[in-house]
Amino acid sequence: MSIHNPPAGWFKAPTGAERLWVGLALSWCIIMSVAMPYWHFYGKQNPTGESYKVSVQDFGQRVGEFVRAHQVGDEKGIPIVEVPPGGDGYMLARMWSFYPILKLKKGQTYRLHLSSSDLQHGFSLQPLNMNFQVLPGYDHVLTIRPTSTGIFPIICNEFCGIGHHAMTGRIIVE
Amino acid sequence: MASAVESLPVSGNHDTSEVRTCETTTLPVCLTAQQFIRWHAVVAVVFLLVGGIGALLLGLTRWPAVHLLDAQWYYRILTLHGLNMLIFWILNFEIAVLYFAGTSLLNSRLASKKAAWACFVLMLVGAVMVDVAIMQGKSDVLMTSYVPLKAEPHFYLGIILVAVGTLIGVINFFATVYIAKRDNTYEGSVPLIVFGAIAAAIIAVVTLLHGAVVMIPTWLWSMGLLENVDPAWYRITWWGLGHMSQQVNVCAMVSIWYLMGTLTVGAKPLNQAVCRGAFVLYILFINIASAHHLLVDPGVGAGWKIWNTSYAMYLAVLASMIHGFTVPASVEVGMRAKGFTRGLFGWLAAAPWSNPGFSGFFLSVIIFGFGGGITGVVLGTQQINIMAHNTLRIPGHFHVTVVGGTTLAFMALTYYVVPLLFQRDFYGKALCRLQPYVFGGGITLMALGMSFAGSYGVPRRHWDVEFTGSQLAMGFDSGAYTMLGVMGIGSLIAVVGLFMFILLVVAAVFVGPKIDGQAMKPWHEERQAPADAAAVDEDDHRTPGTLVLALVFLLTFAVYYFANWMWLADVWEVR
Q: Among partner residues B269, B569, B574, which is closest to A142 by beta-carbon distance? A: B574
Look at strands A101-104 and A78-82 and give their pairing. Answer: parallel
Indicate whether B402 pLDDT > 60.
Answer: yes
The per-residue DSSP string of B227-279 comes to: S---HHHHHHHHHHHHTHHHHHHHHHHHHHHHHHHHHHH----S-HHHHHHHH
Instruction: Look at residue B479 in the predicted model and tell me its pLDDT.
Output: 96
Interface touch B230/A137, C-beta < 8 Å: yes
Q: Which helix (H) or strand (E) holds B464?
A: none
With a CB cutoff of 8 Å and minimum separation 6, the contacts of B372 are B397, B398, B400, B401, B402, B404, B405
Chain-wide mean pLDDT for chain B? 93
Instruction: Look at residue B268 in the predicted model and tell me its pLDDT.
Output: 85
How far apart, in whole angstroms, are the C-alpha atoms of residue B53 and residue B511?
23
Q: At what angle do helices B272-285 and B302-337 cross, to 10 degrees?
A: 160
Please write the tens of the pLDDT for every residue from A92-138: 999 999 999 999 999 999 999 999 999 999 999 999 999 999 999 99
How far apart, in whole angstroms, are the C-alpha atoms of residue A127 and residue A154?
9
How far apart, in whole angstroms, are the C-alpha atoms of residue A21 and residue A29?
12
Angle at B254 between CA B438 and CA B248, to 5 degrees: 105
User: Is the preceding peptide bond at B148 cis, omega within 30 degrees of 0?
Assistant: yes
Indicate whether B6 pLDDT > 60.
Answer: no
More confident: B566 or B307: B566
How far apart, in whole angstroms, are the C-alpha atoms of residue B155 and residue B282?
31
Residue B541 forms contact with A (CB below 8 Å)? yes
Look at strands B19-21 and B28-30 and give their pairing. Answer: antiparallel
Indicate whether B36 pLDDT > 90.
Answer: yes
Mean pLDDT on B205-210? 91
Residue B517: how many other CB atoms lie within 10 Å: 8
By percentage, how much of chain B surpasses pLDDT 70? 95
How many helices (H) and strands (E) chain B has is answered by: 18, 3
How far apart, in whole angstroms, are the C-alpha atoms of residue B258 and residue B267?
8
How far apart, in whole angstroms, are the C-alpha atoms of residue B228 and residue B216?
13
Residue B117 forms contact with A (CB below 8 Å)? no
Please write the tens of the pLDDT for every residue from B86-128: 999 999 999 999 999 999 999 999 999 999 999 999 999 999 9
Q: Among partner residues B148, B191, B391, which is closest to A129 by beta-carbon distance? A: B391
Please write the tens of the pLDDT for every residue from B460-506: 999 999 999 999 999 999 999 999 999 999 999 999 999 999 999 99
Instruction: Look at residue B258 in the predicted model and tell me its pLDDT.
Output: 96
Instruction: Look at residue A165 in the predicted model and tell me its pLDDT.
Output: 96
CA distance A69 to chain B (A): 23
Mean pLDDT on B144-153? 95
Please write the tens of the pLDDT for every residue from A79-88: 999 999 999 9
How far apart, in whole angstroms, are the C-alpha atoms of residue B360 and residue B433?
9
Q: List, as ranges, residues 12-41 from B with C-beta within 8 Å of A.
A: 25, 27
Instruction: Look at residue B291 in the predicted model and tell me its pLDDT.
Output: 85
* Closest among B308, B320, B303, B318 to B371, alpha carbons compared: B320
How far apart, in whole angstroms, are the C-alpha atoms of residue A137 and residue A116?
7
Mean pLDDT on A164-171? 97
Please write the tens of the pLDDT for every residue from B44-93: 999 999 999 999 999 999 999 999 999 999 999 999 999 999 999 999 99
Residue B51 · residue B85 · CB < 8 Å: yes
Please write the tens of the pLDDT for every residue from B288-326: 667 889 999 998 888 888 888 876 668 889 999 999 999
Residue B295 three-state SS: coil
Q: Among partner residues B186, B301, B383, which is closest to A5 by beta-carbon distance? A: B186
Residue B253 · residue B203 · CB < 8 Å: no
Interface touch A25/B325, C-beta < 8 Å: yes
- CATH no., domain A51-173: 2.60.40.420
Angle at B56 between CA B253 and CA A120, to 5 degrees: 80
Q: Taking the domains of chain A in order of start, what are their residue ranges?
A: 51-173
CA distance A63 to chain B (A): 18
With a CB cutoff of 8 Å and minimum separation 6, the contacts of B123 are B40, B43, B88, B91, B92, B95, B161, B162, B165, B166, B169
Chain-wide mean pLDDT for chain A? 95
Backbone angles phi, psi at B182, to 5 degrees: -60, -40
Q: At what angle do helices A16-42 and B544-569 cross, to 10 degrees?
A: 0
Residue B82 · residue B129 · CB < 8 Å: no
Residue B203 · residue B243 · CB < 8 Å: no
Interface touch A18/B329, C-beta < 8 Å: yes
Instruction: Look at residue A108 in the predicted model and tell me its pLDDT.
Output: 97
Instruction: Look at residue B530 in the predicted model and tell me its pLDDT.
Output: 77
Instruction: Tell me the pLDDT band of B517, cut-offs 50, 70 and 90.
Output: confident
* Closest among B417, B532, B323 to B42, alpha carbons compared: B417
Cβ contacts of B192 on chain A, cutoff 8 Å = 2-3, 6
Indicate whether B2 pLDDT > 50.
Answer: no
Interface touch B464/A29, C-beta < 8 Å: no
Minimum mean pLDDT range among B202-211, B402-411, B527-536: B527-536
Indicate whether B1 pLDDT > 60.
Answer: no
Q: Which amino acid is at A1?
A: M
Backbone angles phi, psi at B111, to 5 degrees: -60, -50
Residue B343: how many other CB atoms lie within 10 Å: 11
ipTM: 0.95
